[in-house]
Amino acid sequence: MFVHNKRLQYTVRVSAPNPGLANLLLEQFGGPQGELAAACRYFTQAVSEDDPGRKDMLFDIATEELSHLEIIGSIVAMLNKGAKGQLAEAVESEAELYRSLTEGGNDSHTTALLYGGGPALTNSAGVPWTAAYIDTIGEPTADLRSNIAAEARAKIVYERLINVTDDPGIKEALGFLMTREIAHQKSFEKALHSIQPNFPQGKLPGVPEFTSVYFNMSKGDDIRGPWNEGGDWKFVEDPQPAVDGGDGLATVGVTEADVEVLQAMASRTASDVNADPTTGADLGAGQATTAK
């Protein structure tokens, strides 16, 4: 059961409306790194989680992400306050209204015009939110790593949003949200490492002969480091197919009847290497032969 408290988790203080900034903030409302995506990701993980500690943590963080969605939505709504009234009541001339809506060079039609000044479940380019942002796979050692990466990406987006506003109240609120991304990363990482072992992910081990092999597949200016040397790494300078020792060809076992059918199809569709007919490409290029 969810019970909503009408007070925000963090106080929102917006100095003045700014539709352009409102549009940019939609990245954290309905974007891939945003708060709704995070809430849905952690909530779906929590529902299926069997470990009581991880289940509690995931529900707590999922619920907090919803509170962050409310903060971002409130900031967007406050930044669009002037535009909302102007759009609804048409108190300005057309030119002045358009200028105010696109203040700062940002295309704010999504929040200001289409949604009447309210926060929309889109990113800043107007792309609708999608459940495809949720990458839960049902294996804690994989999902927790994905969660850590998601929080890291969200922190970077908040940093960038902080850098594009000079409103002290908004900077403060975004700084709080950015900091909570750090706290969540710490929780997820601690939870990950409370599972021992947690690498490789899942139950099955890797094939030993390939687990610690680095294939040098990109030639020129090869850089060596801890990702491909030292420890038990085996560096293969010039990997040749097939690395398993086979011939590198694809084969399949089929019935005798299928063999006959496949051979008939291959014969019917075989290329004649000696044919050189005039084609549409030749005709379009003005290379048609003259009829006699």
- Residue 35 among known ligand-binding residues: yes
d(CA 202, CA 176): 35
Distances (CA, A) of 250 to 70, 163, 266, 289: 54, 53, 17, 43
Dihedral-angle region of residue 122 (phi above 0 means left; psi in -120 to 50 means alpha; beta otherwise)? beta
d(CA 275, CA 260): 26
- Residue 143 among known ligand-binding residues: no
d(CA 50, CA 47): 9
Pairing relation of β-strands 213-215 and 234-236? parallel
- Residue 65 among known ligand-binding residues: yes
- Residue 56 among known ligand-binding residues: yes
- Residue 194 among known ligand-binding residues: no
d(CA 114, CA 170): 24
- Residue 139 among known ligand-binding residues: no
- Residue 135 among known ligand-binding residues: no
- Residue 221 among known ligand-binding residues: no
- Residue 193 among known ligand-binding residues: no
Residue whose tokens read 């390939």: 210
- Residue 64 among known ligand-binding residues: no
ω into residue 197 within 30 of 0, thus cis? yes
CB 134 within 8 A of CB 40: yes
d(CA 97, CA 103): 10
ω into residue 17 within 30 of 0, thus cis? no
Sequence ranges of the binding site for Mn(2+): 35, 65, 68, 151, 184
Write out the binding residues for Ca(2+): 56, 60, 216, 218, 220
Binding positions: 35, 56, 60, 65, 68, 151, 184, 216, 218, 220
